[in-house]
């Protein structure tokens, strides 16, 4: 639009020059100055437009990077929670088999869960392609919330109550593993352009996903 307008303006000036040629050097200088002014205006316009486009592209790239990092943080925290839940369930099974009382560090579970829930709020789940991750991310947090709730019941329990609660948690642990694994694979897709799966630790993450 700007280039067309400038070209049109220059064309008018050239037509005017040909129709009413300058009679002396002073008039020629005025015509040359007018054409130069239009060229300067066009140059400033083109430069400003290019800088604005580049700034917008940088901002979009930075925003995408922040959004992806937020998703990666959800995954990293979920994996920590997953591993801790696995260890806690193993110890709880051992305690139940021995007929003892189950002891779980609920505060540690909570210290992992709270940042996970907070980090999820930083993810723009309403905006593509991150909306695709909504079901998986929310599923991970929901599974972790279930563990936190029923882990509190399991803590200090023994006998039949401990065995029944442990059975439910074991089933949910399988659900947590599947949900985290799907979430991990999702972040490996190209549209997220994430670094978590394709980082130096990516080989380990991908090996786990294949397992």
Tens of pLDDT, residues 167-198 = 888 888 888 888 888 888 877 765 554 433 33
Both tokens of residue 139? 């599923």
* pTM for the model: 0.55
Q: What is the CA radius of gyration of the chain?
A: 32
Contact 50, 3 (CB under 8 A): no
Cβ-based neighbour number of residue 17 at 10 Å: 16
Exposure class string for 36-59: b at 16+ Cβ within 10 A, else e = eebeeebeeeeeeeeeeeeeeeee
d(CA 161, CA 78): 27
Angle between helices 159-187 and 25-97 (to 10 degrees): 160
Tens of pLDDT, residues 82-111 = 888 888 888 888 888 888 888 877 777 777
Angle between helices 25-97 and 106-121 (to 10 degrees): 160
Distance of CA 135 to CAs 34, 73, 104, Å? 62, 16, 29
Contact 163, 154 (CB under 8 A): no
Tens of pLDDT, residues 35-81 = 667 667 777 777 777 777 777 777 777 777 777 777 777 788 778 87
Distance of CA 110 to CAs 104, 123, 149, Å? 11, 21, 10
Both tokens of residue 115? 């940042």
Query: Domains of the chain: which residue ranges?
Result: 2-50, 65-210
Tens of pLDDT, residues 133-174 = 777 777 777 888 887 888 888 888 888 888 888 888 888 888
């Amino acid at each position: 639009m700007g280039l067309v307008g400038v070209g049109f303006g220059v064309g008018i000036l050239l037509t005017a020059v040909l129709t009413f040629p300058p009679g002396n050097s002073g008039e020629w200088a005025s015509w040359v100055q007018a054409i130069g002014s239009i060229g300067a205006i066009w140059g400033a316009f083109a430069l400003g437009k290019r800088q604005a486009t580049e700034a917008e592209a940088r901002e979009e790239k930075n925003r995408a990077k922040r959004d992806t990092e937020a998703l990666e943080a959800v995954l990293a925290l979920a994996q920590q929670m997953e591993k801790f839940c696995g260890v806690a369930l193993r110890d709880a099974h051992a305690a139940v088999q021995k007929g003892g009382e189950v002891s779980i560090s609920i505060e540690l579970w909570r210290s992992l869960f709270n940042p996970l829930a907070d980090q999820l709020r930083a993810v723009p789940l309403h905006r593509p392609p991150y909306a695709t991750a909504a079901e998986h991310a929310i599923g991970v947090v929901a599974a972790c919330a279930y563990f936190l709730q029923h882990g509190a019941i399991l803590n200090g329990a023994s006998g039949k109550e401990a065995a029944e609660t442990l059975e439910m948690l074991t089933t949910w642990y399988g659900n947590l593993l599947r949900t985290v694994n799907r979430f991990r694979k999702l972040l490996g897709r190209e549209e997220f352009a994430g670094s978590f799966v394709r980082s130096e630790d990516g080989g380990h993450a991908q090996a786990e996903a294949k397992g």
